[in-house]
């Protein structure tokens, strides 16, 4: 064995024969350093790995031929190449023509600086790591893995995108939709199980009389066909004794977080005007409920997030901040601030004051009314999680209404063909029907 060092960067979430092959080839040339990509290096380009970094490291460092495992904190190999200055970098030759072609050029330029070389290994035929990940997703996940995913994402990404889902089909869209942009792949990181859209999709009013047992059917439909983390809209949470039950049920099913608001009495939706204004819970009442929920949970992964309604109820930022600080001290894992102000000034002021006191507590925004601001701008205010809270349901109704109206006018369905997906494509969305 020579005393040369060899660098290989991998994700290590699924160890297949192609990975073993390139590791074996690499160790022939010297001491093999594995640059294991961290969650934060991966999530803007691929979905969050199933295994945590520590779990992946444990597997990789026990593979024969691996000398050392180091974290690769960037999607690009270049920072680690410049840090460790290996004599040789090894990579599969598939990067000549795929999305890593630009990265390949950067790596060659970097290695040239100290006289290093790159050895390209023929791609192992018959192995498609992307397809393997997709197949794993079709199998599903476990409650433990799903529940922990939100905290992992918060540690790995500056901003988390959450999309409202109210059915298994809308859940599948949130699970799979993605857009490739210059800065990576943009996708939704998780789902919002909204009380409003769940009840509305059933043709029922958005009131808290609909109990958890009733809503669990819709939640189960989404859980069964998706793998991404779910944040559950818990309304007021009910009385503390009932909220304890809700926490345990959601946690057991693999939900990542529940958000409860500081209101009391029969629910009135915040989107309506002052005539629907609802009495707010006192600081002591709200904090008691949060503390009861925290005592009830079994795992450290589950999150209870306090939704602050002071701005909706006509109070100022000072009152909202006071309630938020009290909620955090009572054990809340995060804070959601809500407002109907279209210019977002009160939200921005709240975020700035909250961040001055709490640097790392997750801050959740729902920019339905102040939707002129981009995710990047909201992140600069201090937000960690952005929830698109009702758009899937709002988009579906006008589409269905127009379709039905057109059929009535035409007295046939030919005119709606362009509005509808082919039924074959609909069926192909459903795992197991191909």
| Active-site residue list | 206
The C-alpha atoms of residue 156 and residue 158 are separated, in whole angstroms, by 7
CB atoms within 10 A of CB 302: 25
The residues near 390 (Cβ < 8 Å, ≥ 6 apart) are 164, 194, 196, 197, 368
CB atoms within 10 A of CB 403: 14
* CB-CB contact of 270 with 307 (8 Å): no
Give the largest Cα separation in the chain, rounded.
80
The C-alpha atoms of residue 328 and residue 311 are separated, in whole angstroms, by 18
The C-alpha atoms of residue 211 and residue 38 are separated, in whole angstroms, by 40
Q: Which of 195, 204, 294 is nearest to 235 (CA)?
A: 195
And the tokens for 218? Answer: 């819709």
Q: Which of 48, 224, 50, 221 is nearest to 145 (CA)?
A: 50
Q: Quick one: 389 exposed, middle or buried, by C-beta within 10 A (0-12, 13-18, 19+)?
A: buried
């Amino acid at each position: 064995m020579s005393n040369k060092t060899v660098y290989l960067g991998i994700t290590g979430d699924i160890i297949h024969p192609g990975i073993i092959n390139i590791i074996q080839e690499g160790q022939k040339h010297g001491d093999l350093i594995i640059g294991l990509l961290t969650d934060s290096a991966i999530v803007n380009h691929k979905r969050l790995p199933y295994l945590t970094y520590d779990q992946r490291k444990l597997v990789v460092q026990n593979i024969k031929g691996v000398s050392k495992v180091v974290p690769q904190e960037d999607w690009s190999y270049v920072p680690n190449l410049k840090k460790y200055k290996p004599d040789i970098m090894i990579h599969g030759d598939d990067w000549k023509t795929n999305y890593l072609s630009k990265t390949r050029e950067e790596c060659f330029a970097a290695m040239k600086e100290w006289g290093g070389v790159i050895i390209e290994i023929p791609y192992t035929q018959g192995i498609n790591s992307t397809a393997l990940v997709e197949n794993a997703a079709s199998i599903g996940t476990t409650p433990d893995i799903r529940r922990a995913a939100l905290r992992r994402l918060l540690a790995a990404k500056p901003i988390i995108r959450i999309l409202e889902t109210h059915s298994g089909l809308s859940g599948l869209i949130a699970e799979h939709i993605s857009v490739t942009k210059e800065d990576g792949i943009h996708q939704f990181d998780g789902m919002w199980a909204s009380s409003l859209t769940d009840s509305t999709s059933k043709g029922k009013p958005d009131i808290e009389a609909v109990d958890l047992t009733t809503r669990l059917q819709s939640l189960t439909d989404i859980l069964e066909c998706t793998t991404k983390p779910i944040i559950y809209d818990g309304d007021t949470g009910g009385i503390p004794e009932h909220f304890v039950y809700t926490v345990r049920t959601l946690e057991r099913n693999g939900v990542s977080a529940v958000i409860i608001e500081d209101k009391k009495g029969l629910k009135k939706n915040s989107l309506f005007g002052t005539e629907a204004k609802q009495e707010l819970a006192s600081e002591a009442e709200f904090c008691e409920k949060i503390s009861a929920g925290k005592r009830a949970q079994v795992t450290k992964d589950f999150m209870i997030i306090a939704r602050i309604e002071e701005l909706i109820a006509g109070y100022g930022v000072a009152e909202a901040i006071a309630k938020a600080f009290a909620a955090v001290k009572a054990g809340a894992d995060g804070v959601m601030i809500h407002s109907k102000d279209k210019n977002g000034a009160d939200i921005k002021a709240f975020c700035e004051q909250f961040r001055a006191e709490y640097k790392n507590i997750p801050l959740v925004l729902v920019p339905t009314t102040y939707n002129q601001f981009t995710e990047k701008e909201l992140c600069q205010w201090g937000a960690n999680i952005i929830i698109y809270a009702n758009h899937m349901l709002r988009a579906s109704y006008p589409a269905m209404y127009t379709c039905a109206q057109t059929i009535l006018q035409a007295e046939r369905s030919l005119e709606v063909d362009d509005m509808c997906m082919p039924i074959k494509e609909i069926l192909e969305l459903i795992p197991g029907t191909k």
